[in-house]
Amino acid sequence: MKTKKSILNNRPFLIFGLLILFVLPFNIIFSMPMNVWAANVYIDPSATYNGDGSAGTQAMAPNGVGAYNSWSAVSFSVADDYYQKCGTTATFSKTKIISSIKAAPNDRMIVGAYYLDGGEQIGVSGVKPIIKRPGTDGSSFSVEDSDYIEFQNIRFEEGAQSLYISNSDYFYIHDSTIGAGAKAYGIRCQNGSDNGIIANNVIDSEMPTYGQTPPMYGGYLYDGIQLHSVNNWTIYQNTVRDWGHNGIAVHNSDYNNIYDNLFTGYNSSYSRGFSLDGGADYNKFHGNRIEYCNVQNQLGGGSYNEIYNNIIDTVLHTSRAARGIALSGYSGKVYANKIYNNIIYNTRESGIYMWGGGKGTVESNIINNNIILKTGNNTMFIYGSDSGVLNNTFSKNLLYNADQEKIVWYKGTIYTSSEFNALDSAAIENNIYDDPALTDPAEHNFTFKSNSPYINSGIGPIPNTNTNTAPSLSAPIGLQIQTK
């Protein structure tokens, strides 16, 4: 993190800089690193001030710390960082935009928080600063045509989307709270914004407070995170709560890595954990927990994606598609995806669902080493003609519904696991009907009991060799989802 001091408050430094400007040869001056001239800019919306804050004159907070009175006074520069005082609120009448700022990998432009402790201290003490834009259109904050921008320790509220990223590479947001009162999206990333990071945030619509309505019921509240025509994002260790369509939507976006997040829709009348569609290819979704999202997670169009090591816990919408994972091809071909080592528990309909009647076939996908239990109807439901659902592989899945041995619905017939295996010895094999002996799934503890025969069997979530992480199988985090 950079720890630059304001040159506006340092007259000796300013005089020294002017001397350098007139004494040194111009070729030396312009070859100096840009961060020699860098400054921290402080924004204190609660400050009294001398001069016209809206015109860019530096304001003076009552305790004497130099600051601008409002963001309207600020013009962004690639050389500077911008910090709003903790415990303050900046309310915009129109979107605040960072535009055409091209920072560098080792010198990002930062928007963050500061507090007072013997001087300006970068970081959070007390309450994060709030940035919001009331209304139904536009964004609270927007980053456009800019690279290497970092947001940290800010609470972004309201707007049609609380934070909008367009045509901006290497964007990084962390340790922030996003989406309270948003009308449609928490974070919306579009238009070729590549190589971003979203980490350690709470992305929460705060629906019980603001009363937004999902689009399925005439409202506009859509996605906590939307990736649309962007690539190579890393999204991890976020809590994404109470959105009206998807916790995360990946549309026409490739090579994104999404892991170790909690998605929950406890207070939403229509919410799913994830959706990959519109030609989403080569994405990885792993080590995530999806709790009380009440409609199906879905692969609606995309190829070579991997969905593994996740726990999908409780999908119980009373009238909509309440399944674990649906491969449906509604927006395009669903081809050569891998769904493995997941736990799917407590769904009103099937745990895995395939349908080839959309815009594309569901073809050559691999479904293996999953644990699917306590589902409505059947643990797996494969629907469609041979021309719509074909050449998919089902192997070594552990399927269990108490008192229901015929548990797989396959193209018009219900089978036991043994009968299902007999249909195709190459593509359908070694699926098992048995109680996996999990410790206490009703209380969100998905570890194996000590006497389970499936310990170290390769079935169910296993540690992720790429990130050395696995879902927290024993933490009863479902009891925490109503808190903020």
In the chain, the percentage of residues whose pLDDT exceeds 90 is: 70
With residue 29 as reference, give the H or E element that holds it: helix 26-29
pTM (2 d.p.): 0.88
Residue 146 near residue 173, CB atoms below 8 Å: no
- Write out pLDDT tens, residues 256-310: 999 999 999 999 999 999 999 999 999 999 999 999 999 999 999 999 999 999 9
Residue 481: left if φ>0, alpha if ψ -120 to 50, beta else—which one? alpha
* Residue-range domain boundaries for the chain: 205-480
Sorted by sequence, the CB contacts under 8 Å of residue 57 that are 6+ apart come out as 49, 50, 51, 73
pLDDT of residue 7: 37
Q: Tokens 């006497």 correspond to what residue?
A: 451
Q: Which two tokens stand for residue 146?
A: 């800019």
Residue 119 identity (one-letter amino acid): G
Q: Which two tokens stand for residue 447?
A: 């570890």
Residue 209 identity (one-letter amino acid): T
pLDDT of residue 299: 96
- Write out pLDDT tens, residues 381-404: 988 666 789 899 999 999 999 989
Residue 116 near residue 159, CB atoms below 8 Å: no
Out of 169-178, 263-272, 421-430, which region has the weakest mean confidence (pLDDT)? Answer: 421-430
Residue 225 has pLDDT above 90, yes or no: yes
| Chain mean pLDDT for the chain | 85
pLDDT of residue 75: 87
Q: Tokens 């043994």 correspond to what residue?
A: 418
Residue among 110, 103, 190, 193 nearest 150 (CA)? 110
Q: How many CB atoms lie within 10 A of CB 282?
A: 16
Q: How many CB atoms lie within 10 A of CB 451?
A: 7
pLDDT of residue 463: 52
Q: Which two tokens stand for residue 212?
A: 């937004």
pLDDT of residue 227: 98
- Write out pLDDT tens, residues 76-110: 999 899 999 999 999 999 999 999 999 999 999 99
- Between 424 and 359, where is the model more confident? 424
Residue 367 has pLDDT above 50, yes or no: yes
Helices (H), 222-353: none
Sorted by sequence, the CB contacts under 8 Å of residue 91 that are 6+ apart come out as 132, 133, 134
Q: Which two tokens stand for residue 136?
A: 């139904």
With residue 26 as reference, give the H or E element that holds it: helix 26-29
pLDDT of residue 360: 84
pLDDT of residue 384: 66
Pairing of strands 311-315, 343-347: parallel
Residue 49 has pLDDT above 70, yes or no: no
pLDDT of residue 124: 95
Residue among 49, 88, 92, 86 nearest 67 (CA)? 49
How does DSSP assign 165-212, residue by residue? EES--S-EEES-EEEET-SSEEEEEESS--S-EEES-EEE--HHHH--
How far is Cα 464 from Cα 284, in angstroms, rounded to an integer? 12
